[in-house]
Homo-oligomer: A and B are copies of this chain.
Amino acid sequence: MASKPSIPKGTRDFSPAEVSKRQYIIQTIKANFEKFGFQPIETPSFENSDTLMGKYGEEGDRLIFKILNSGNFFYNKSKIELPESIEELQLNSAEKITLEQRIELNKFTGKISEKALRYDLTVPFARYVVQHQSEIEFPFKRYQIQPVWRADNPQKGRFREFFQCDADVVGSKSLWQEVELVQLYDTVFTSLGLEGVTIKINNRKILSGIAEVIGASDKLIDFTVALDKLDKIGEDGVKKEMIEKGISEDALVKVQPLFNFSGTFADKIAQLSDLLSSSEEGMKGVEELKFICDNVADLGLSTAVLDLDVTLARGLNYYTGAIFEVAAPKTVAMGSIGGGGRYDDLTGIFGLKNMSGVGISFGLDRIYLVLEELQLFPETVAATSKAIFLNFGDKEALYASKAIQKLRQENIKVELYPDNVKVGKQFQYADKRLIPFAVLVGDQEINSNSYALKNLVTGEQVSVDFEGLKKTLLG
């Protein structure tokens, strides 16, 4: 290979500084997941294709990375037929082929590729629950922190390989889970020093209620998208957009309270209660939200704010109860840094009925960017050594190694510069690595059983015995 090597688009190398920061976030999330009684599981990076295909809609199927069968993939116990339209497929890019040709292509793909990379953590979790149901004690509180892969077009902040950090409970309909998940968000972000996040909450049943009231469930998304622009384009602008989308003026009168939707959580609940009084499902949603809101308020949050947001409409196809989304503090321009919700039939796709689940997810990459922007990473995150012993020859290196060995037994990160090269080069290495102390040993130190300890920040150098060395490096 003559040219400089590179990595596939949408993927990333992580440098030592980046790995340490990512690990800091992951460890914080993990410690809190466990404090809340969640247990870790891990699933394989690739699943059988039929476990994943058809679970994420047509778009999802397209974005799943498929693994080519090993060996001669044109033969699998018997001949693998080529697509009938092979010649057209060879002559046209994906955008230009017909629906029929695409179906043929997909069928052929399924034959030469029987495994696919994990696309999210929810479907593998559902598969895990069904496969291991006899070993699991329900309700099952599991967390999972693993990479997923999507053949999305990479863009700023969107990658083809990224970590998901999920906590879900399956096998209980109790709303205490929702209460705890709000507390969990609050606890994790407080632990990370990220104060002032907004935990937005809504309920699928309230959205259904609104759809009932406006008499147009197919226009629900148009409605929430427009309503979400209230701050930007004002009541008149929103109403204009809604009417353009085909929502009737009558309907707008009925939902008028949503245009002045404000006040405390309890105020909002009261307004929704009026608005949705005619919808049984809507009122069920109000009741659920009230339970969560009341108990969260009674318990109190450390630094986060819980806010009822009726425009929150993610995951409409699978969420059946609570819907969550977390927004970073307003000082940072960033999309949501977490989300989740309740889905009443998590495992039905794999044949296990009546398993209600509820869960939340943390967006590692975005949380990283927010902490970076607000300079919230602790300085101690980096995995750098506390001191480097310079190398002046084998005799000196052996003397140094004896001290190094004892310091490591005290859990102090120290290292020996491996080569006896010019001292300037060794100092330069320490400098680039941001190592705060250098230890120099020559004949004088060996004879007096001491160490010359140089503070690389202040430049100050002192002669110390081993205890003095240890004390400074532990400090």
Contact = CB atoms under 8 A, between A and B. Distances in A.
Interface string A27-61: 00001001111111111111110110000000000
B432 A5 contact: no
Number of copies: 2
Which secondary structure dominates where chain A touches chain B? mixed
A295 B399 CA distance: 10
Given A72-B97, A413-B34, A418 B41 contact: no
**Most B CB within 10 A of own CB, among A73, A161, A180, A391:** A73
Interface string A100-139: 0000010001001111010000000001101110010101
A329 to B, nearest CB: 22
B40 A23 contact: yes
Interface stretch (A238-246, A360-368, A400-408, A440-448): A400-408
A72 B44 contact: no
A183 interface: yes
Given A44-B13, A68-B112, A418-B174, A351 B131 contact: no
A416 B176 contact: yes
A43 B105 CA distance: 32
Given A19-B42, A172-B418, A65 B70 contact: yes
Contacts of A388: 37
A: contact size bracket:
35 or more
A169 interface: yes
Interface stretch (A141-149, A193-201, A209-217, A337-345): A141-149
Nearest to A20: B40
B176 A418 contact: yes
B113 A68 contact: yes
Interface in A406-450: 408, 411-416, 418-420, 428-429, 432-433
B16 A40 contact: yes
A298 interface: yes
A1 B350 contact: yes
Contacts of A420: 174
B65 A66 contact: no
Interface of A: 1-2, 4-8, 11-16, 19-20, 23, 31, 34-48, 50-51, 62-63, 65-68, 70-75, 79-82, 86, 89-94, 97, 105, 109, 112-115, 117, 127-128, 130-132, 135, 137, 139, 141-142, 147, 149, 151, 161, 169, 172-174, 176-177, 179-180, 183, 187, 295, 298-300, 349-351, 383-385, 388, 391, 397-398, 401-402, 405, 408, 411-416, 418-420, 428-429, 432-433
14 contacts: A5-B127, A7-B127, A8-B48, A19-B39, A20-B39, A34-B413, A38-B383, A63-B70, A66-B67, A71-B94, A75-B91, A172-B419, A176-B416, A300-B405
Given A7-B127, A72-B92, 7 more contacts: A8-B47, A13-B128, A16-B40, A39-B383, A45-B45, A172-B419, A173-B419
